[in-house]
Amino acid sequence: GNADLQADVVVLGAGPGGYTAAFRAADLGKKVILIERYSNLGGVCLNVGCIPSKALLHAAKVLEESRDFRKHGLKFVEPEVDLDALREWKNGVVSRLTGGLAGLAKQRKVQVVHGYGRFIDQNNIEVTDAEGATTTVGFTQCIIAAGSTAVKLPFLPEDPRIIDSTGALQLKEIPKRMLVIGGGIIGLEMATVYHALGSQITVVEMLDNLITGADKDIVKPLHKRLEKQYEAIYTQTRVAKVEALKKGLKVTFEGAKAPEPQLYDSILVAVGRSPNGHKIEAQNAGVAVDKHGFIQVDKQQRTNVPHIFAIGDLVGQPMLAHKAVHEGKVAAEVCAGLSTFFDAWVIPSVAYTDPEIAWVGKTEAEAKAEGIKYGKGTFPWMASGRSLSLGRDEGITKMIFDQESGQVIGAGIVGPNAGDLIAEVCLAIEMGCDASDISLTVHPHPTLSETVAMAAEAFEGTLTDLY
Ligand code: FAD
């Protein structure tokens, strides 16, 4: 063709999906070009998502524990927050990782082209850089990995005091009174950070529960703890109106439990993310994008155009980095001629709140709704020596089993480090383990991992026909 640059595989977007796909395709011998609008690689996850949020959540944990342990005999003076130093540390964590990616790209001879990419036809993307200069990049195969963007609430005024997760992670200031719109994972993680830093937090959620993906009994211990820490949590409540006044943001709520209008110093909007499918002129390549901006793909990540693939947040829920990475590998391998499929049975979800909430496979609510004959085993952490040694007793490990075969089909865990614990259940499900495979495995003592074995044992205890 007449393109300025030409590659076997062009990857559009350098988030976890895109860089994984680019590196894998290069390792398999393809000439790869990776297109990214921003100067840093790593996408949302590394720059304004998973990583900076976890760095700040760790800082929040240190702060909260220093306060919590007063009652157990360790008295610290109230910690002093140096926001500039904290921000610099968080940025340093991010740049170590994004810098590492640039090095890995170079090592593999993946050419990175910086600029905004749009399809011009089925084999070419035009990239416009920050100065407005354009480069056409031709491809034999393409992997679209353009990710997602925070959803905006259209009725909110333009005001610097109204921020999304990206704004919250910039850590410009610590507002006195902050409203978080949205009681999902991202909203509650950011609330955790700002609460620890000293903000008075109110959370407003339209649905009847926080973190609605997980079972209610698993979310309850978190809800109870947050109710004690925060100014208010309003469920089944909507924000109807926000007026930007000089003295604050005046918020009017609606719903049966709605409070009187309130004034806040800042509002964090965390009401979900929307896929970037409509922003890349996919129609010029004939790639179908649905009305929400998602691109449909098959089990090999192929779009309706056979030589164009799509991965990550752009192809559907759950919008999580580990799903994007997995799909990136599949797409790259298929491009290289391997017969790989996306055949993961389950994808875990984690809220890195305190306590953490993690779930995988069927929730109990899903098992019930789908009419599955299931059994469950629950282990309350108040009987875990390790949990009590951490000064915590509210955790729960709940596992869901197929009643007949005893195979594990799901789990929900709440408690410190639940996110790490869920990995064992993911493996158990992928391996087709039953309850005894888990309960007969010797777990190290005293660890929180024992709660998984104990939950499996609890289910076995419910069986009457043990042989
Ligand atoms: P993205 O990471 O969105 O990357 C897409 C890339 O494409 C971006 O770099 C973008 O600049 C680029 N791009 C888009 N369009 C173009 C274009 N036209 N031209 C050039 N470049 C373009 N997930 C987890 O699994 N764990 C977590 O703990 C977690 N925490 C999160 C915390 C926050 C605050 C947020 C917002 C998200 C979090 N996520 C987390 C979600 C996670 O960040 C995403 O699922 C993941 O980044 C999706 O990867 P992706 O490759 O699909 O796209």
- Measured from the Cα of 13, ligand 1's closest atom is 7
CA angle 72, 74, 76 (to 5 degrees): 135
CA dist 456 and 407 (Å) reads 10
Whether the predicted pLDDT of 467 surpasses 60: no
Of all helices (H) and strands (E), which one includes residue 132?
A: none
Whether the predicted pLDDT of 42 surpasses 80: yes
- Measured from the Cα of 168, ligand 1's closest atom is 34
Interval between CA 23 and ligand 1 midpoint (Å): 17
Q: Which pLDDT belongs to residue 300?
A: 98
Q: Which pLDDT belongs to residue 313?
A: 98
| Cis status of the peptide bond prior to 275, with omega within 30 of 0 | no
Alpha helices in 198-309 (DSSP H): 216-229
Pocket test for ligand 1, best of 48, 50, 188, 330 (most atoms within 8 A of CB): 50
CA dist 150 and 274 (Å) reads 6
The finding on whether 275 has its CB within 6 A of some atom of ligand 1 is: no
DSSP, collapsed to helix, strand or coil, labels residue 199 as coil
- Which of these, 111, 45, 22, 4, lies nearest to 309 by C-alpha position? 22
Interval between CA 273 and ligand 1 midpoint (Å): 10
87 half-sphere exposure, CB direction, 13 A CA radius: 11
The finding on whether 45 has its CB within 6 A of some atom of ligand 1 is: yes
Other Cβ atoms closer than 10 A to 93: 16
Band of pLDDT at residue 463, cut at 50, 70 and 90: confident
Pocket test for ligand 1, best of 34, 41, 45, 279 (most atoms within 8 A of CB): 45
Q: Which pLDDT belongs to residue 200?
A: 98
Structure pTM? 0.97
The finding on whether 238 has its CB within 6 A of some atom of ligand 1 is: no
Whether the predicted pLDDT of 374 surpasses 60: yes
Q: Which pLDDT belongs to residue 465?
A: 62
Interval between CA 114 and ligand 1 midpoint (Å): 16
CA dist 413 and 399 (Å) reads 8
- Measured from the Cα of 322, ligand 1's closest atom is 25
The finding on whether 89 has its CB within 6 A of some atom of ligand 1 is: no
Catalytic residue among 114, 278, 292, 445: 445
pLDDT digit string (tens) for 254-278?
999 999 999 999 999 999 999 999 9
Concatenated DSSP letters of 90-126: HHHHHHHHHHHHHHHHHHTTPEEEESEEEEEETTEEE
- Measured from the Cα of 273, ligand 1's closest atom is 36
Q: Which pLDDT belongs to residue 358?
A: 98
In the numeric block, the tokens 């979900």 are attached to: 272
Asked whether this complex has an ipTM greater than 0.95, the answer is yes
The finding on whether 18 has its CB within 6 A of some atom of ligand 1 is: yes
pLDDT digit string (tens) for 44-59?
999 999 999 999 999 9
Whether the predicted pLDDT of 216 surpasses 70: yes
The finding on whether 293 has its CB within 6 A of some atom of ligand 1 is: no
Average pLDDT of 185-205?
98
Over its C-alpha atoms, the chain yields an Rg (Å, rounded) of 24
Q: Pull the structure tokens for residue 279.
A: 């922003």
- Which of these, 111, 124, 94, 90, lies nearest to 23 by C-alpha position? 111
Interval between CA 24 and ligand 1 midpoint (Å): 18
Alpha carbon of 76 to those of 61, 69, 82: distances in Å?
15, 9, 17
3-state secondary structure string across 381-431: HHHCHHHHHCCCCCCEEEEEEECCCCEEEEEEEEECCHHHHHHHHHHHHHC
Which protein residue's CA is at the shortest distance from atom 12 of ligand 1?
13
- Measured from the Cα of 50, ligand 1's closest atom is 30
CA dist 182 and 230 (Å) reads 15
Other Cβ atoms closer than 10 A to 342: 18
The finding on whether 187 has its CB within 6 A of some atom of ligand 1 is: no
Which protein residue's CA is at the shortest distance from atom 35 of ligand 1?
49
In the numeric block, the tokens 């996306």 are attached to: 342
pLDDT digit string (tens) for 320-360?
999 999 999 999 999 999 999 999 999 999 999 999 999 99
Alpha carbon of 422 to those of 58, 85, 210, 357, 452: distances in Å?
19, 33, 20, 9, 9
Whether the predicted pLDDT of 1 surpasses 70: no
Which protein residue's CA is at the shortest distance from atom 38 of ligand 1?
49
Report the C-alpha dihedral over residues 265, 57, 229, 447, rounded to 10 degrees: 170
Pocket test for ligand 1, best of 44, 137, 283 (most atoms within 8 A of CB): 44
pLDDT digit string (tens) for 102-119?
999 999 999 999 999 999
Alpha helices in 174-320 (DSSP H): 185-197, 216-229
Give percent of the chain with pLDDT exceeding 70. 99
Concerning whether 445 is annotated as a catalytic residue, the answer is: yes
CA angle 295, 165, 86 (to 5 degrees): 135
Whether the CB-CB separation of 198 and 66 falls below 8 Å is answered with no
Interval between CA 288 and ligand 1 midpoint (Å): 21
Of all helices (H) and strands (E), which one includes residue 43?
A: helix 43-48
Concatenated DSSP letters of 294-342: -----TT-B-SSTTEEE-GGGG-SS--HHHHHHHHHHHHHHHTT-----
Band of pLDDT at residue 2, cut at 50, 70 and 90: confident
Q: Which pLDDT belongs to residue 462?
A: 86
Of all helices (H) and strands (E), which one includes residue 343?
A: none
CA dist 454 and 452 (Å) reads 5
Q: Mean of the per-residue pLDDT values for the chain?
A: 97
Which protein residue's CA is at the shortest distance from atom 45 of ligand 1?
320
The finding on whether 348 has its CB within 6 A of some atom of ligand 1 is: no
DSSP single-letter state for residue 6: E
The finding on whether 300 has its CB within 6 A of some atom of ligand 1 is: no
